[in-house]
Amino acid sequence: MAVSAGYRTFVLDQLRRVIPDVHAKRMFGGVGLYAGELFFALIDDDTLYLKADDVNRPDFERRGLRPFQPFGEGTATMQYYPLAEDVLEDPEALRPWTDAAVAVARRAKAGKKKGGRRR
C-alpha cells in the first residue's frame, strides 16, 4: 500500500493541468485526492483510482478495468477504478475522466446532505 514520492508528484502535476485546486492528503498508507472539498480519487500502490458510480462505471468496465480491492484479490471492492496511464499523460483525454469522478463526488456529497443526520 505504499505510494512513492515520485508517483505522487507525477499524479499531482498531471491532475493540476485539468483541476487547478487539486490537493492530496495521506490516508491509510495511501493518498486521498481532493478537488476543493470533494474526495474524487486515491492513490495506492502507485496506481491512480478515480471515484465511480452508475454513471461513469461503464466507462471503466468497457476498458476491462476492475474496481479497487484494498485488501487484495478476492476481497471487498471500493467504488474506485484505476485510470489508464496513457490517459493520465494526456490532458485532453484526462479532463473528461476527472470531470466525471468529481461529479460522482459531488453527487455523493449532495446525497449525504439530503439524508441528514438522525439523532
C-alpha torsion 73→75→78→80, nearest 10:
0
Q: Does domain 5-115 have CATH number 3.30.1460.30?
A: yes
Question: For 52-65, what is each residue's pLDDT tens digit?
Answer: 999 999 999 999 99
The pTM of this model reads 0.89
Q: What angle do the packed helices 5-15 and 91-115 form, to 10 degrees?
A: 90
Taking residues 11-30, report their average pLDDT: 94
Domain ranges in the chain are 5-115
Distances (CA, A) of 117 to 7, 113, 114: 38, 8, 9
Question: For 97-110, what is each residue's pLDDT tens digit?
Answer: 999 999 999 999 98
Other CB atoms within a 10 A radius of the CB of residue 23 amount to: 13
Question: For 28-57, what is each residue's pLDDT tens digit?
Answer: 889 999 999 999 999 999 999 999 999 999
Say yes or no to pLDDT of 118 above 70.
no
